[in-house]
Structure 1
Amino acid sequence: MGAHVLDKDLDDLAASARAALVREIDASGAWDADPVWREAFEAVPRHLFVPYYYVGVVGGYERRWGESPDAGTRERWLRGAYADTPLATRLRDGELVSSSSQPSLMAMMLAELRVTDGDRVLEIGAGTGYNAALLAHRLGDDDLVTTVDLEPEITEAARQHLAAAGHHPVVVTGDGARGVPERAPFDRVVATCALPSIPRPWLAQCRPGARILTPLGTGLVALTVRDAGHAEGRFLHTPAYFVPLRGGGPEPEPVPLGGLPRRARDNELFRFLLALTRGGLDPQEAYELWEREGQPQRERYGITVRGEHEWAWLDDPEGPYTWPLPA
């Protein structure tokens, strides 16, 4: 009997914690571009997607889980599930391999995806399944949503979490860089992992006019697909740090920053420029450009994919400042 009373208390706590999270995201302005997302965040229970997660403690991580025999631990787990913070959900040898993104960042990305009724959406990086559930709720049709991840244990867990929340989008185990051709064509593609460049198969699997939103470097770029060989768009204003796409190639070597002024080395926007021009500019050249152009904000940068070529640019895709991205 006691356990059921506690479960009832946890249900009540989950409802109030979820409502508080929705108010917090609302106040942040994250979904101002498309307030319909408020209803999805009110309806989809995040705690079902993070039955356990890890919090950093001195010397490593501590696991919090919803099945703990200790009532206080269960309560801390539940409150943490509705905090507006990213949650580490999978570790391997002490390294983070999967996480549930910060809800306000997810809300902003979903609003910027500009989903409309009937859109077919491909998500790269299934994670816990929470993002796919939000999409399925918003679209009102699970079959419009496809999510892909390389790791079988991640896709299996995502399927289970989604089913627990009453959703059954198509969950595919495979390389996200290859897309999911058998589910194409897509109207929207959203990635929740960082990439060094835009995979060509995504364009080929999109309808003309489709929108792709993906982390690249330490930013988020929103591309409009013209056709199977051409897409272009600008970065959003926000910084974004995501786990790299697994299978997406080796991690880039750190850029040596010796000799640069500290105010540049520590500046988030300068580090964004470094990530974008890796291999195209050395750090000193990047610094001179950054100063000359008035320390540009992210929205002045963009990406163009055309045929075999892919490049980043400042202000104008055909302008004087362009840098090739890795093929």
Structure 2
Amino acid sequence: MSAHALDRDLAELAASARAALVREIDASGAWAADPVWREAFAAVPRHLFVPYYYVGVVGGHERRWGESPDSRTREEWIRGAYADAPLATRLRDGELLSSSSQPSLMAMMLTELRVRPGDRVLEIGAGTGYNAALLAHRLGDDDLVTTVDLEPEITEAARRHLAAAGHHPVVVTGDGARGVPERAPFDRIIVTCTLPSVPLAWLAQCRPGARILTPLATGLIALTVRDAGHAEGRFLPTPAYFVPLRGAERHETGPVEPAGVPRAARESELYRFLLELSRAGLEPQEAYALWEREGRPSRERYGVTVAGEREWAWLDSPEGPYVWPLR
């Protein structure tokens, strides 16, 4: 088979796999509140953003890449690129540094971002550049989108991927916890890595009424910014697990170990979420007692308030009896 014919076959496979992925996300209801995102996912080719990725195998990881001399490996690469699954894209000494998030989770987050025409958007965590491309496609103006990442090799690769897909948003190398003040003000901030708290720098770079969507604990918090020192919002119902932000705000603390707590609670995502969210205020047994007493509350009952140098998480009400400091 000639290289040209093989390229054509791979392109057809990519188009077919992308259409199948769009149908799968559609069926999940991820963008039901804003189905315009369907067109962005149908138009932006994910495989251009993951020229290689790693899959777990016995004893470590195996790289799948589009330049493999083996045709079957190239086909596996294409199929994997359009699976509704996260893809490990950068490893260092076995540690995951960067990934391409699960597309249905990306679709849900982009829908929850609630972008409007003309919005200026900051993405914290450039990753492969795929999310920035989806935003640029949706907004119809590359200059409205800024994405930042700490690692020069990540931002350089993201620029290449974006250019290959025909998009040129502003890609910045820097500490995401500090935002990108030279590109402010922003109407939306979307974060694709987890932090222990919400940096005040983000609020200062937002317009009043801006929306910030960020992973926190093992959930996603949607904050409405009142001004440079105040924001508040509740968690979305979905669990979310992201790699930690690298930079000034990085925290080295691992997961809380709930010693002395019944196994059913230890295995519950909702209990583990409360445990992580309240780690600065409650011992595991106290968190368990609260969790049971309050009827094993869902994520939507929790929220976060930022007020100047104070930041706290809460259950049901920011002024209620159940509040825990985040910093």
Structure 2 length-normalised TM = 0.99
Counterparts of residues 141-152 of structure 1 (less than 5 Å): 141-152=141-152
2:281 is matched by which residue type in structure 1?
G
SS of 1:286's partner is: helix
Tell me the equivalent position of 1:307.
308
Whether 2:238 is the aligned partner of 1:241: answer no
Q: CA deviation at 1:79?
A: 0.4
* Deviations, residues 26-79 of structure 1 (Å, cap 9, x unaligned): 000000111110000000000000000000001100000000011100000000
Tell me the equivalent position of 1:159.
159
Q: CA deviation at 1:95?
A: 1.1
SS of 1:234's partner is: strand
Tell me the equivalent position of 1:17.
17
Q: CA deviation at 1:255?
A: 2.1
SS of 1:231's partner is: strand
Is the 2:195–2:250 Cα contact (8 Å) retained in structure 1?
A: no
Tell me the equivalent position of 2:184.
184
2:113 is matched by which residue type in structure 1?
L
SS of 2:146's partner is: strand
Tell me the equivalent position of 1:92.
92
Distance, in Å, in 2 between the alignment partners of 1:129 and 1:254 is 29
* Deviations, residues 144-188 of structure 1 (Å, cap 9, x unaligned): 000000000000000000000000000000000000000000000
Is the 2:195–2:251 Cα contact (8 Å) retained in structure 1?
A: no
1:81 is matched by which residue type in structure 2?
A
Distance, in Å, in 2 between the alignment partners of 1:254 and 1:26 is 34
Q: CA deviation at 1:250?
A: 2.8
Q: CA deviation at 1:259?
A: 1.0
1:302 is matched by which residue type in structure 2?
G
- How many equivalent pairs are there? 326
2:282 is matched by which residue type in structure 1?
L
Counterparts of residues 146-225 of structure 1 (less than 5 Å): 146-225=146-225
Q: CA deviation at 1:256?
A: 3.0
Distance, in Å, in 1 between the alignment partners of 2:163 and 2:106 is 21
Q: Which runs of 4+ in 1 moved over 6 A?
A: none
Identity across matched positions, percent: 83
Distance, in Å, in 2 between the alignment partners of 1:233 and 1:198 is 12
Q: CA deviation at 1:249?
A: 2.5
SS of 1:245's partner is: coil
Tell me the equivalent position of 2:101.
101
Q: CA deviation at 1:206?
A: 0.1
1:231 is matched by which residue type in structure 2?
A
1:288 is matched by which residue type in structure 2?
A
Is the 2:209–2:225 Cα contact (8 Å) retained in structure 1?
A: yes
Whether 2:62 is the aligned partner of 1:78: answer no
Distance, in Å, in 1 between the alignment partners of 2:37 and 2:12 is 22
Distance, in Å, in 2 between the alignment partners of 1:131 and 1:242 is 14
Tell me the equivalent position of 1:279.
280
Tell me the equivalent position of 2:116.
116
Q: CA deviation at 1:257?
A: 1.6
2:128 is matched by which residue type in structure 1?
T
CA RMSD, 1 decimal: 0.7
Q: CA deviation at 1:308?
A: 1.2
Tell me the equivalent position of 1:269.
270
Give the stretch that moved more between structures: 247-256 or 77-86.
247-256
Is the 2:259–2:284 Cα contact (8 Å) retained in structure 1?
A: no
Structure 1 length-normalised TM = 0.99
Distance, in Å, in 1 between the alignment partners of 2:250 and 2:162 is 29
2:124 is matched by which residue type in structure 1?
I
Tell me the equivalent position of 2:139.
139
SS of 1:304's partner is: strand
Is the 2:196–2:216 Cα contact (8 Å) retained in structure 1?
A: yes
* Deviations, residues 210-229 of structure 1 (Å, cap 9, x unaligned): 00000000000000000000
